[in-house]
Structure 1
Amino acid sequence: MTRYTLRRLALGVGQVLAVVTLVFLLVQALPGDAAVTLAGDDPDPARIAAIRQAMGLDQPPLERYADWLAGLARLDFGESLVSGRPVADFLATGLAPTILLAVLTLVLLVPLSIFVGVAAALREGSVLDRVLTSVSVGLHSIPEFALAVVLIAVFGVGLGWVPPTAVGGLTPAVLVLPLLVLLARPICSISRLVRAGMIDALASDYVRHARRLGVGTRRIRYAHALPNALAPAVQQVARTTDWLLGGVIVVEAVFVIPGLGTVLVDAVASRDLPVVQGLAVVFAVTTVVVNLLADLVAFRLAPRSSR
């Protein structure tokens, strides 16, 4: 376990460095000139040159990259080109709503997915199993923005049960529709994995042996079969976390939630490169850490014979 953990940590550090490098290269390749944007509608060449020098844009790319990496090592993401505020301030401003959405989604996602998957597996071939499978396939095929628009039109505008957007503030009622949008597709994919894993586990040799030994049905299902069925689902939860980073951006834009997604969209529109780079680093590190934890949990849950 220790050796596997060290290997995954080393791989994670390499992945973060690769993503950070790629982010820097992509941001530098963006069309246009940030100095020209900041100079105004009728820029003076001397003013543009002064802005470029102040922002360090007149330095060679390798030197800018080295300075940026050195800043990241000190947890210094730089300053906004537009407002002059530290990038960390933008991260702090948008972090709370995004974390709230992501954490609530994951907290609800795991037990609901397990419940749906186990319920379908224990009644394999029944009406309930077929209904859950059909609904899962249907919901999984609907894009997030389309589902969000439908929910807003029906429950926010038509019925008026919940606020359609977060313009009036981020209240518990406002979170209902965004959470439904973020939960719909992941529950479908994860519950299907739990169902398949549970069916395979209940048909395995060790479960049949436990039945012959007189082990109770409830203990067989939830103490023996379920842990082995969860290993692939845990990794799918990690992939869902990756998807959440993109899904939250869409949801925040549709429901006007002032999170990191909104900050990222505004930064890209204004070519605020340090803010874009800082957000990309946060997303990359989050993705690597979540996948690392998921791999360790899945490795722990996997039967020893399969390691």
Structure 2
Amino acid sequence: MSGLRSFVARRLLLGALQIVAVVLLVFGLTEALPGDAAVALAGDQPDPARIDAIRAAMELDRPAWERLADWAAGLLHADFGTSLTSGRPVGAYLADGFGPTLLLATLTVALLVPAGFGLGVLAARHEGRFVDRLISSVTLAVYAVPEFALGVLLVTVFALRLGWLPPTAVGYGTDLLGHPSALVLPVLVLLSRPVCSLVRLVRAGMIDALASPYVAQARRYGVPGVRVRYAHALPNALAPAAQQLARTIDWLLCGVIVVETLYVIPGLGTVLLGAVAERDVPVVQGLAVVFGVLTVVLNLGADVVTHRLAPRAKVAA
């Protein structure tokens, strides 16, 4: 237990340093963006005096290090700043878009875990046989299709040709739970590549675990096959799969821009696209920090789970 506490303490310290690095990197990258928000807000034919007034109102004329210090201090109190274009708090944008994105991610993970682990274990149990070859071939083929292409294909078949499902979420707003049919195609697209990765990773982990000396010893002692697979082999196969699952959840929360754009879902991806188009730097910065912190936290949790499931695994401290 003391070893686990020491490991968690080291990972927490590393996570804190990574979050600081994320804040500095986000600010530096947004400062390096081409163009000027004041010029963008001044209109098509900006007047120099108007540009100067806008820059002063937005405090863009202050030194970068002062703005960084104020922004970082605000982050400590969950204050992400104010939108340059609307004057709304950035936190309000995050709150508006977080619900639909979280709903998509939750539904996807709820299907991903049983499908990924179940198919992976099934393929490992039938290694080299028809079931294993079928699962491996299908997952490889699906993984090779980009999300955008798969999304367009699903819309063409199930929405336009068959008319079974709505092609987009237009008109539903954020009330997606009240219209579950609008969630089917986006969730399928989000599920396609992660489930393929997880299936192949669980399959490989299970095959390695079933071929290990301790499993062979358990079989020699007459331990039932079901117990060997699920009490001895599966926990060691779960260790790398837990890290993959954390990366998948991170991608679902941070990388749904394509899916939300394709199906017109008002989530964080849509908010980010709008902020980039309007060069609304505080909103872009707020979203980037939230995504970065989620990445650090999820990977920290995955490392702890991996260490707990398989202490022998070499996890970077």
The 10-residue stretch of structure 1 (239-248 or 272-281) with the greater mean CA deviation from structure 2 = 239-248
Kindly tell me the number of residue pairs found equivalent between the two proteins. Answer: 307
8 Å contact from structure 1 (residues 144, 247) kept in 2: no
One-letter code of the match for 1:118? Answer: V
State yes or no: 1:120 paired with 2:128: no
**1:153-202 superposed Cα distances (whole Å, 9 cap, x missing partner):** 11111111111100031321111111111111111111111111111111
**1:55-111 superposed Cα distances (whole Å, 9 cap, x missing partner):** 110001111111111111111111000000100110010010000011111121111
Q: State the match for 1:278 in structure 2.
A: 286
Query: For residues 313 and 190 of structure 2, what CA distance do their matches in structure 1 show?
Result: 36
**1:228-256 superposed Cα distances (whole Å, 9 cap, x missing partner):** 11111111112222332453111000000
Query: For residues 90 and 246 of structure 1, what CA distance do their matches in structure 2 show?
Result: 15
Query: For residues 152 and 247 of structure 1, what CA distance do their matches in structure 2 show?
Result: 20
One-letter code of the match for 2:250? Answer: D
CA drift of 1:217 comes to 1.2
Q: Secondary structure at the match of 2:234?
A: helix
Q: State the match for 2:217 in structure 1.
A: 209
Q: State the match for 2:56 in structure 1.
A: 53
Query: For residues 291 and 314 of structure 2, what CA distance do their matches in structure 1 show?
Result: 32
Task: Please give the root-mean-square deviation of Cα atoms over the aligned residues, in Å.
Answer: 1.3
Query: For residues 297 and 140 of structure 1, what CA distance do their matches in structure 2 show?
Result: 26
One-letter code of the match for 1:270? Answer: E
Q: 2:65 aligns with which of 62, 65, 72?
A: 62
Q: 1:10 aligns with which of 10, 13, 20?
A: 13
Q: State the match for 1:228 in structure 2.
A: 236
Q: State the match for 1:175 in structure 2.
A: 183
Query: For residues 218 and 132 of structure 2, what CA distance do their matches in structure 1 show?
Result: 26
Q: State the match for 2:200 in structure 1.
A: 192
8 Å contact from structure 2 (residues 154, 185) kept in 1: yes
Q: 1:202 to 1:89 in 2, by over 3 A?
A: same
State yes or no: 1:90 paired with 2:99: no
State yes or no: 1:38 paired with 2:41: yes
8 Å contact from structure 2 (residues 102, 253) kept in 1: no
Query: For residues 80 and 242 of structure 1, what CA distance do their matches in structure 2 show?
Result: 25
Query: For residues 299 and 246 of structure 1, what CA distance do their matches in structure 2 show?
Result: 25
8 Å contact from structure 2 (residues 136, 200) kept in 1: yes
Query: For residues 311 and 22 of structure 2, what CA distance do their matches in structure 1 show?
Result: 33
8 Å contact from structure 2 (residues 19, 293) kept in 1: yes
* Aligned pairs (5 A) from 1:256-295: 256-295=264-303
Q: State the match for 2:308 in structure 1.
A: 300
CA drift of 1:218 comes to 1.0
State yes or no: 1:77 paired with 2:66: no
Q: Secondary structure at the match of 2:75?
A: helix
How many percent of aligned residue pairs carry the same amino acid? Answer: 65
Q: Secondary structure at the match of 1:175?
A: helix
Query: For residues 23 and 312 of structure 2, what CA distance do their matches in structure 1 show?
Result: 36
Q: Secondary structure at the match of 2:181?
A: coil
| Structure 1 gap ranges (5+) | none
Q: State the match for 1:145 in structure 2.
A: 148
**TM-score, L = length of structure 1:** 0.97
Q: 2:26 aligns with which of 20, 23, 26?
A: 23
CA drift of 1:38 comes to 1.2
8 Å contact from structure 2 (residues 239, 307) kept in 1: yes
Query: For residues 273 and 304 of structure 2, what CA distance do their matches in structure 1 show?
Result: 34
**TM-score, L = length of structure 2:** 0.94
8 Å contact from structure 2 (residues 306, 313) kept in 1: no
